[in-house]
Amino acid sequence: MELYLVRHGQTESSRENRFTGTSDPPLTAVGEAMAVAIASTYSGLKWEAIYVSPRLRALQTAEPLSRRSGIAVTVEDGLAEIAYGDWEGLKLDEARERWPEAFAYWAADVASRGTSGGETAFAVAARAMRVVEQIRTRHAEGNVLVVSHKATLRIITCALLGLDVRLFRERLAQPVAAVTKFDLTPKTAQLTLYCDRSHLSPELRDAEGT
């Protein structure tokens, strides 16, 4: 089975690089164009299923490909973005200034320590990988799409590669509208494409934000 992992398109929050977990901004016009570009490039594949985070930005990103392929999306709560608690909507420097001690505590171990009132990366790994394993069981072969979020996809990638989840922020990039692909068997996961954005025009690739 070929598992395609896609981060949603641009939002105002991703453009400004703000902590965005449980908050639910829509795609910008640029983000909508990114979603159309994904659909234009990948609608020629035969899709077995499309799994999506419940957040609006993920649903909007999946919608053009879902419509073109005729495959209805399956919403999975386990694919939602990591919750940032009190830091929702803040930039990194704003959180550091407002809660310097809590920020330093979190930054020292971003996997096992959540933000103030937020979720740990290990908790995200547990719920997200449960979904991945369910997908693996349901689809022995074919193409399966997952549309999710920056932190969640980095955590899934670490888990599939056998990397320490503590490295998810430090070692892995995950730009908006990027496509990562794994070839999965019941027991193995081979990375065959990482953060590809060749489906985007130069203007969309150079759009502001992360």
Cβ atoms within 10 Å, residue 161: 12
81 belongs to the catalytic site = yes
Q: DSSP characters for 104-145? A: HHHHT-TTTS-STT---HHHHHHHHHHHHHHHHHH-SSSEEE
Choice among 8, 63, 76, 149 that is catalytic: 8
Choice among 81, 88, 119, 149 that is catalytic: 81
Which residue do the tokens 């022995």 mark?
140
The pair phi, psi for residue 48, each rounded to 5°, is -85, -35
63 belongs to the catalytic site = no
Nearest-CA neighbor of 3 among 161, 115, 123? 161
Catalytic residue numbers read 8, 81
